Amino acid sequence: MSKKTLGIVVAVLGIIVLAVSLLADTFGIGTGRGVGLKQIVGMAAGTLLTIVGIYYAAKG
């Protein structure tokens, strides 16, 4: 698998993690009391994965 393909896969995974974290309460998997710690960690991880994925896709 090339670095470009791997970067795209990682970026898409990051976007999915970010979206699920943001919409956790809507999906019924959050606490429903605002943004919790797990959602913040998920958003940070999703953002980081997206940035790293875009970097590798652009570089590869």
Identify which of 23, 24, 13 has the alpha carbon closest to the alpha carbon of residue 46: 13
* pTM greater than the 0.85 cutoff: yes
Burial class for 27, CB neighbours closer than 10 Å (0-12, 13-18, 19+): exposed
Given a contact cutoff of 8 angstroms between Cβ atoms, the answer to whether 40 and 25 are in contact is: no
Q: Residue 17 sits in which domain range? A: 3-59
How many domains is the chain partitioned into structurally? 1
CA distance 15 to 9: 10
- The predicted-structure confidence for 1-59, as pLDDT tens digits, reads as follows 899 999 999 999 999 999 999 999 888 888 778 888 999 999 999 999 999 999 999 99
